[in-house]
Structure 1
Amino acid sequence: MIYGNILGKNQIRILEKLKNLPAGTYLAGGTALALQLGHRTSFDFDFYTGSHFEPTILLEKIKNAFQKVSVERVVKDTLLLNVDGVGFSLFFYPYKLIGRLIPYKNIKVASVEDICAMKMVAISMRGKRRDFVDVYYLLKKYSLAQLMKFTLKKYPAYQPMIVLKGLLYFEDAEDEDLSRGIKIFDPDFSWKEAKRVITREVEEYQQVLLNPI
């Protein structure tokens, strides 16, 4: 199921006009996850492709299709733009997909399994508050063991303890507002409760690792 209501009218208009993206391009990141969980709004379009691409060619196509395009970065296999007020990025990303792509409008959306794995690795590097919010809602659907399974399936060489350590490091997120006006639809959401649940799940999972049956 896709929760199109998490997008604003301008975002929907942009998706409907996006065409001629490189072969194999898919949407991931917070917006792609929110489209499938329906838990919050999200403002940027983070695209990835497993194929190398020439960003200047795509940039010209986007400029021809949209009125206001400002360029943030253009290098080989990387394109960062602001398109009619919406952040747009496309990166070459060589990691395999572990789930099926989901068609939506003119694009393909990465599976929850793939987004989860990418999100867990991002948190292990430096978690933003919205990343922890996403994990909290993922834990309503999956166990932490399942989330770790997705992560290790996508990134076999990744160390589980690095991910677990990142999940318990809230300091950087503490001083951060729920950035850029993101709205969480759950009226009962509590940042304190989110931290409590994540901490409990990590501690229980660590006990399983230390005391396997």
Structure 2
Amino acid sequence: MSGTFSPRLSILPESQRRLWPELRPATGLGFVLYGGTAIALRLGHRQSVDFDFFTAKPLDREALNEAFSFIRRAIALQSGPETLTLNVPDAEMSDRYVKVSFFGAIDFGRYAAPDMTEDGVLQVASLDDLMATKLKVLMQRVEAKDYQDIAAMLNAGSDLSLGLAVAKEMFGNTFQPSESLKAMTWFEGGDLQRLTDDEKRALIEAASAVRRLPHVEMAMHGLGA
């Protein structure tokens, strides 16, 4: 069953906070917030400057245009059958933008129910599902923010073995837990010099403690509550 939590809105940049109330229709359209901002809203560990919305449903452009008035003032950065990425200008500061992405037909399912923010604006993916998707991202790019997100979730009590098992169920043969663990403890390339010693230590200790992965069953093929 879906719960609620108090989002750490103070961690968001001003432009994101101003856009926040306009995002309320997302839940009714079946969208769940994933990505770094979802983790930051739960843990308050860093600023994340965009919104990534996932749904298992096909992307309905007409419904999006009707639900989100900000689309009319936005600049499209990417548009495909199941992808829409926008730069939304700040309503008060026209030289600032918020990146908002909608992804449809996401078929990897979920392990745990998302939680609703206490103000009723958004459904936010569970930390278990966020951990799984971040572990997959480590194999696709080298960016400090992903390592910081994983370290923050570990410090908040997330189980790395469970996250690896969920990722394996989500992504099948395209995800190899051993390769993700290697990436998680290899701090060369990209902007990884930004990682603190404490963050590196948390990642190394958690990776070193992984033994057998637990058996998990995905709750459903959809993403929403």
Q: For this structure pair, what is the TM-score category when the shorter chain's length is used for normalisation? A: 0.7 to 0.9
Distance in 2 (CA, whole Å) between partners of 1:7 and 1:142 is: 23
- CA shift in 2, pair 1:54/1:82, >3 Å: same
CA deviation profile, 1:73-128 (whole Å, cap 9, x unmatched): 11111001011210100112111121112223432111111111110100122231
Distance in 1 (CA, whole Å) between partners of 2:198 and 2:71 is: 42
Q: State whether structure 2 residue 52 is matched by structure 1 residue 49.
A: no
Displacement, 1:156? 4.6
Kindly report the root-mean-square deviation, in angstroms, between the aligned alpha carbons of the 2 structures. 2.5
Partner of 2:36: 30
Amino acid of the residue matched to residue 51 of structure 2? Answer: F
Write the mapping of 1:168-207 to structure 2, written as runs, cut at 5 A: 168-173=185-190, 175=191, 191-205=196-210
Amino acid of the residue matched to residue 162 of structure 2? Answer: Q
Q: State whether structure 2 residue 136 is matched by structure 1 residue 130.
A: no
Q: Structure 1 stretches of 5 or more lacking a match?
A: 179-189
- SS state of the match for residue 209, structure 2? helix
Q: Percent identity?
A: 27
Write the mapping of 1:1-213 to structure 2, written as runs, cut at 5 A: 1=5, 2-21=7-26, 23-55=29-61, 58-59=64-65, 62=68, 64-65=69-70, 68-84=73-89, 85-92=97-104, 93-104=106-117, 105-140=120-155, 141-157=157-173, 158-173=175-190, 175=191, 191-205=196-210, 208=211
CA deviation profile, 1:109-168 (whole Å, cap 9, x unmatched): 111111111101001222310110111111111242233233234335432112112212
Distance in 2 (CA, whole Å) between partners of 1:142 and 1:99 is: 13
Distance in 2 (CA, whole Å) between partners of 1:71 and 1:169 is: 35
Amino acid of the residue matched to residue 151 of structure 1? Answer: A
Distance in 2 (CA, whole Å) between partners of 1:119 and 1:162 is: 13
- SS state of the match for residue 138, structure 2? helix
Displacement, 1:52? 0.5
Q: Which moved more, 1:76-85 or 1:14-23?
A: 14-23
Using the size of structure 2 for normalisation, the TM-score is: 0.75
* Bigger relative CO (Cα 8 Å, ≥ 6 apart): 2
Displacement, 1:200? 2.9
- SS state of the match for residue 107, structure 2? coil
Using the size of structure 1 for normalisation, the TM-score is: 0.79
Q: Structure 2 stretches of 5 or more lacking a match?
A: 90-96, 213-225
